[in-house]
Amino acid sequence: MKYIFILLFSCLININSFSQENSNDITTYYLIRHAEKDRSDSTNKNPILTETGRNRAKNWSNILQHITFDVVYSTDYNRTKETAQPTVAKNGLELTIYNTEKIDFDAFLSNTKGKTILIVGHSNTIPQFVNSIIGTNKYNDIDDNNNGNLYIVTIVNERKSDQVLTIN
């Protein structure tokens, strides 16, 4: 686990350093699913995070601490907003709410060009979001027990690269 963290940390530092030097040409998206939600009330459609989830949200903030985000997007659910909040606070930003069913990806890509963005969503929306950015149906829904995937999509001069890391 220690070596995975060091590798991830090195990748994130290198991507962020390069993107700051050439910010007009590079767009980087970091996409994560919300942390562990409270499942104690199956009728609650908008649960908060569990203690484990709150700890994961803080951990995401620590993992991403050396990345300077221009904007952080979240769906309008307690669990996604709570997951994003520690990173939002560290970056001195306000959370931007997006609706997965009403997003215009052409406009989104245009508006975020040259920026570094964190997007927090759900087990089905995050892979779909990545697929829309990269223009191919590569990623499937995230397993319901997996809250640790980090998708990174980088666009350099219209050339797209993507990767997924699992941080547990």
Rg (CA), the chain: 15
The answer to whether 103 and 127 are in contact (CB under 8 A) is no
User: CATH number, domain at 115?
Assistant: 3.40.50.1240
What is the longest distance spanned by two Cα atoms in the chain? 48
Going by their DSSP bridges, the two strands 159-166 and 149-156 should be labelled as antiparallel
Summarize pLDDT for 123-156 with one digit per residue, the tens: 999 999 999 999 999 999 999 999 999 999 999 9
The total of structural domains in the chain comes to: 1
The answer to whether 95 and 44 are in contact (CB under 8 A) is no
Is the alpha carbon torsion for 125, 131, 137, 140 positive or negative? negative
Whole-number Å distance between alpha carbons of 103 and 129: 10
Q: Which domain holds residue 154?
A: 2-38+47-166
Return contacts of 1-8, CB within 8 angstroms, 24+ apart: 1/168, 4/165, 4/167, 5/63, 5/167, 8/63, 8/150, 8/165, 8/167
- Written as one letter, the residue type at 85 is Q
Q: What confidence score (pLDDT) does residue 15 get? A: 53
Q: What confidence score (pLDDT) does residue 155 get? A: 97
Summarize pLDDT for 63-96 with one digit per residue, the tens: 999 999 999 999 999 999 999 999 999 999 999 9
Q: Is the pTM of this model over 0.85?
A: yes
